[in-house]
Chain A
Amino acid sequence: AQSVTQLGSHVSVSEGALVLLRCNYSSSVPPYLFWYVQYPNQGLQLLLKYTSAATLVKGINGFEAEFKKSETSFHLTKPSAHMSDAAEYFCAVSDQGNQGGKLIFGQGTELSVKP
């Protein structure tokens, strides 16, 4: 079975500081990994995804994530936080069994950005 764990249900950074949101996965096969962002009262928007091409994945809004097989991690980073980055962030892995396409989400990390 595949799963993801997001470390830290809440992360707070100052505007202009580095953003680091942690995600570790568990999978017996090479995983497909996704980061989604959810702004208040909205749906989920894809930030980026890893599908076994380059290990460093660049996404929208200046976010990127690095796939590290040795650490089973797919942490999300942004060099400089902006107030508009305050949102809920979900890491997800895609089921590759007979329910192909089913997303398995982590518990989410709420990012706060202080002025």
Chain B
Amino acid sequence: DTEVTQTPKHLVMGMTNKKSLKCEQHMGHRAMYWYKQKAKKPPELMFVYSYEKLSINESVPSRFSPECPNSSLLNLHLHALQPEDSALYLCASSQKPGRSQETQYFGPGTRLLVL
């Protein structure tokens, strides 16, 4: 099973709302990633968790707050977002953190619209 699941599929939120995106994998992977993808652009890395600890933060604004409660679950908490944050948010996982030859397995994404 090489599946990464993400919920919800779609999310519409106002600029004052608080919402969360959820990502789950049961492949025993110990690296998990959040990416942001705008239309017709490649994914941009936001955060990396290695062994449930935040290892990379690509200078993401604090209105995005990641959390890794356990080795299977990754959350992205959203607060006071801006319309330009509307995008497809992708989660990915890989087996061993820090190994450059590892394959990253992507979920289907959450399409976020900020009004």
Chain A residues with CB under 8 Å of chain B are 32, 34, 36, 41-46, 49, 51, 90, 94-96, 99-103, 105-108, 110
Contacts and interface: CB of A to CB of B under 8 A. Distances in A.
Interface magnitude class on chain B: 20 to 34
Interface of B is mostly: loop
Contacts of A101: 31, 48, 94, 97-100, 102, 104
Contacts of B41: 107-108
A42 B92 CA distance: 13
Interface of B: 4, 6, 31, 40-43, 45, 48, 56, 90, 92, 94, 97-109, 111
- Top-9 shortest CB links A-B: A105-B42, A43-B106, A94-B100, A100-B98, A44-B106, A51-B101, A43-B108, A96-B100, A32-B101
Interface of A is mostly: loop
Contacts of B92: 44
